[in-house]
Chains A and B, each alone.
Chain A
Amino acid sequence: MLDNLFLLWNAPVLSVQLLVDGILIGAIFALAAYGMALVWGVMDIINIAQGEFVMLGGYVTFFLATAGVHPLYTVPLAAAALYCLGWGLYRLVVFRIVDQDMFISILATFGISISLQQLANELFQADVRTAESGLGSFFLADGLVVVSQIKVVAFFSALALGAGLFLFLKTSRLGRAIRATAQNARAARIMGIDTDRVFATTFALNAAICGAAGSLVVMTWLIHPYLGLAYTLRSFMIVTVAGLGNMGGVAFASLGLGAAENFAGFILGTEYQAAFVFSLLVVILMWRNLRLGRQRKHLK
């Protein structure tokens, strides 16, 4: 561990590589986290199946790419497929848990997550998959920093998707209805908004964003049936740090998490990278609790 730290100290260009890679992956985390914040804010549901949507989006791209379609063109298809899945899941299960206790919604979406994960494991096998984009790499700083072009493309696609969603929520009629429902579902219903349809759209949109994110993941990294939980917990962590409804915060926290994760993977060794992510979640929640506790004492 110390050796790796010294290595970073002696060769600062390695840090640049880690930072760039981390920030590029962070944009994809931001997509999933934004979806989670949307569902959480509008429907008051924490969707544990978030990571499974990412994973399934990845499989859509993987299978289309194996069939000969260029993976970059499959991003909207993955989003569309997951939109349908999200809509279906809402009509089947999720609408029953919207008004329920948060614990019930966590457990129910956990059940959905387990089902989807095991279904993927049965249908698609447990192998690690990736889709070749056929793009090359940029060589910076005399070839010491290598940035693969697909990661850059994925980064900007993620930004574009995020911006598109932001604009949709700000300007379109349906987007305004979604925001109104988030503010006060009951008042929105009185004003004539069909909140059930708003919820369905929100959940489906979330699934679509995650599907697009998964499609980018399979092109830049890899997917397998069991990667869902990590994305769910990352999203939760990002939303908790940024605060619900803070879009800029989500973006910054995601990029920061991507970078931190990469540095931790390098310093602690890749076998501890996942451990770092989950421990960070626990530490962040503890820290948040301490901070809130201090505020509460301050009040009296």
Chain B
Amino acid sequence: MTMATRTVLPYLLIGLLGLIAPYAAPAFRVQLALLWMMILFALTWDLGGGQMGYNSFGNVLFFGIGCYVPAVIQRDVFFRVEEYTFLGSAPPAVKYFAGFTLGLALAVGVAAVVAAVVGSGILGLRGHYFAICTLGVSVAAGEIASGWDYIGAGSGMVAPIFPGPPGQAGLFFYYVLFVLTVICFFTLKWLYGTRFGLAINAIRDDEDKAEAMGLHTTRYKIVAWCVAAVFLAPAGGAFGHLNNFIDRDVAFPGATVGVWMVLMAVLGGKGTLWGPVVGATIFHVTQELFWTYFLHWQRVALGLLIVVIVVFFPLGIMGWLRERWPEKFGETVDPVTLGESR
């Protein structure tokens, strides 16, 4: 096996698995779709939290915007309210998909603008001030959504019914989320290899020094947040349409999904490319088990899980592997410099 096949093979295998999974396990289509969404959550969180050192609890803001914008577009531009509530026949497919596509495009735009505006305000904050501030942002967004009549206030919004036989919706949104996550993964992989990746790593390691070296740190931080927003928004759009119902708790789950994003990345190993993927997969599968066997107690268990992982396993899986076998990760330890540093 040559080097090239060895690097490409895992991607091909995972890609193939992702393509056939909904047919191999049709009963779990929605769960599998959510698995890809979780991976996307962890990846986009890690861009800010792991690679840049800006631990955000507020990334659900963009997810929520992504939930609401397409639903509003469908309601105001493509469908009349009567067509929503009329359960008998599915709406015409062309209209549905046109509305969905336009909605996603707009959601990406809105989320990017919000990320730039909010980000330029709060990305200057450091450390725990940033973390708590983003927590405030996500909770505030949820509260505003639950009071704003235009987007349904407390009673929420409904997306139009998916055109096509039941079960088809799961398949469609599975592939939407799958493709989105794959694009996200490769975009981030590419980004981390560029100057941009080095810059955000420099910000994580020592922001003052990075600034002193002439990096426009705030610009880099805002761009990183916008990239996260651009991927989170369409994920939100797909999830909102898949779930068919959107309210505060679905769109802005700051105290649940907002924390899971962090947990998944930490579990897998923050600051690595594969860590979030591994962490999200393990987390999602475990969570599904908790749902099944610990009915009602799963959230308590989740809280304990956070404590245990963070306190006893802060390096995460990839971090631990890296510490155990540094040479497999391309890190060379030069005995001479090691001797000198001692």
- The answer to whether A and B belong to the same complex is yes
Q: A121 to chain B: which residues have CB within 8 Å?
A: 299
A269 to B154, CA, bound (A): 14
Indicate if B176 sits at the interface (CB-CB under 8 A).
Answer: no
User: What is the minimal beta-carbon distance from B130 to any residue of chain A, in angstroms?
Assistant: 8
Interface residues of A in 250-300 (CB under 8 A from B): 269, 271-272, 274-275, 278-279, 281-282, 285-286, 288-290, 293
Report if A38 contacts B (CB, 8 A).
no
Given contact pairs A107-B266, A111-B310, A272-B143, A286 touches B303 in the complex (Cβ within 8 A): no
- Minimum CB–CB distance from A42 to chain B (whole Å) comes to 16
Instruction: Tell me how far the C-beta of B298 lies from the nearest C-beta in chain A, rounded to whole angstroms.
Output: 8
B332 to chain A, nearest CB (A): 27
Residue of A at shortest CB range from B128?
A: A102
Of all chain B residues, the one with the shortest Cβ separation from A293 is: B124
Chain B nearest CB, measured from A180 CB (Å)? 24
Interface-central residue, A97, A271, A282, by most chain B CB under 10 Å: A282
Within 8 A of A (CB), among B277-334: 296-297, 299-300, 302-307, 310-311, 314
Bound CA–CA A103/B134 (angstroms): 13
What residues of chain A lie closer than 8 Å to B307, measured between beta carbons? Answer: 93, 108, 111-112, 115
- CB neighbours (8 Å) of A274 from chain B are 143
Cross-chain contact of A114 among B129, B140, B303 (Cβ < 8 A): B303
Q: Are the C-beta atoms of B136 and A111 separated by less than 8 Å?
A: no
A174 to B174, CA, bound (A): 60
Measured in the bound complex, the distance between the Cα atoms of B310 and A152 in whole Å is 43
Q: Report how far A99 CA is from B294 CA in the complex, Å.
A: 34
> Chain A: how many interface residues by the 8 Å CB criterion?
42
B302 contacts which chain A residues (CB < 8 A)?
A: 114, 118
Which residues of chain A come closer than 8 Å to B92, judged between CB atoms? none
Question: Which residues of chain B (129-180) have a CB below 8 Å from chain A?
Answer: 129, 131-133, 135-137, 139-140, 143-144, 146-147, 153-154
B residues less than 8 Å from A282 (CB atoms): 121-122, 133, 136-137, 140
The answer to whether A215 has its CB under 8 Å from any CB of chain B is no
Q: How far, in Å, is A129 (CB) from chain B's closest CB?
A: 19
- Whether the pair A106, B303 counts as a contact (CB closer than 8 A) is no
Measured CA separation A22–B234 after assembly (Å): 42
Contacts of A286 in B (CB 8 A): 121-122, 125, 133
CB nearest neighbor in B for A236 = B132
How distant is B75 from chain A, measured CB to nearest CB, in Å?
21
Q: Choose one: A93, A117, A275, A290; the contact of B147 (CB below 8 Å).
A: A275
- How many Å lie between the Cα of A116 and that of B306 in the bound state? 13
Taking a contact as CB atoms under 8 Å apart, the answer to whether B147 and A111 are in contact is: no
Scan residues 158-207 of chain B and give those whose CB is less than 8 A from a CB of chain A: none
Q: Taking the complex as formed, is B262 at the interface, i.e. its CB lies under 8 A from any CB of chain A?
A: yes
A201 near B: Cβ within 8 Å?
no
CB distance from B203 to the nearest CB of A (A): 15
Contacts of A269 in B (CB 8 A): 147
B306 near A107 with CB under 8 A, answer: yes
Interface pair A108/B136, CB less than 8 Å apart: no
Known contacts A93-B311, A275-B147, A286-B121; A240/B304 CB under 8 A:
no
B304 lies within 8 A of A111 (CB): yes
Q: Contact between A289 and B125 (Cβ–Cβ < 8 Å)?
A: yes
**Taking the complex as formed, is A176 at the interface, i.e. its CB lies under 8 A from any CB of chain B?**
no
Question: Could you tell me if A271 and B311 are in contact, using CB atoms closer than 8 angstroms?
Answer: no
Nearest A-chain residue to B126, judged by Cβ: A289
Tell me if B300 and A275 are in contact (CB < 8 A). no
CB-CB contacts of A109-133 with B at 8 A, as 1s and 0s?
0111111111101100000000000
Let me know if B128 and A106 touch, CB within 8 A.
yes
CA distance A233 to B127 in the complex (A): 16
Task: List residues 235-287 of chain B with CB under 8 A from any CB of chain A.
Answer: 255, 259, 262-263, 266
A244 to chain B minimum Cβ distance, whole angstroms, is 12
For A233, list chain B residues within 8 Å (CB): 132, 135-136, 139
Q: Is the CB of A285 within 8 A of B122?
A: yes
Contact of B136 among A46, A100, A285 (CB under 8 A): A285
| Separation of A281 and B144 alpha carbons in the complex (Å) | 14
Chain B CB within 8 A of A169 CB: no
Contact (Cβ within 8 A) A46 B300 = no
Please give, as numbers and ranges, the residues of chain B lying within 8 Å of A111 by CB-CB distance.
Answer: 303-307, 310
- Among A118, A240, A275, A288, the residue within 8 A (CB) of B144 is A275
Q: Are B306 and A122 in contact (CB under 8 A)?
A: no
Cβ of B55 < 8 Å from any Cβ of A? yes
Closest to A226 in B: B255
Whether, in the assembled complex, A153 has its beta carbon less than 8 Å from a beta carbon of chain B, the answer is: no
A114 and B127 contact, CB distance less than 8 A: no
Q: Name which residue of chain B comes closest to A89, CB basis.
A: B307
* CA A119 to CA B137, docked complex, whole Å: 26
Asked whether A96 is an interface residue with its Cβ less than 8 Å from the other chain, the reply is yes
22 CB < 8 A contacts A-B = A100-B314, A108-B311, A114-B299, A118-B299, A119-B300, A122-B300, A229-B135, A233-B132, A233-B136, A233-B139, A269-B147, A272-B144, A274-B143, A275-B143, A275-B144, A281-B132, A282-B122, A282-B140, A285-B122, A285-B129, A285-B136, A288-B129
Instruction: Kindly list the 10 A-B residue pairs having the minimum CB-CB distance in the complex, ordered from nearest.
Output: A115-B303, A111-B306, A114-B303, A278-B140, A275-B143, A118-B299, A111-B307, A271-B147, A281-B136, A118-B300
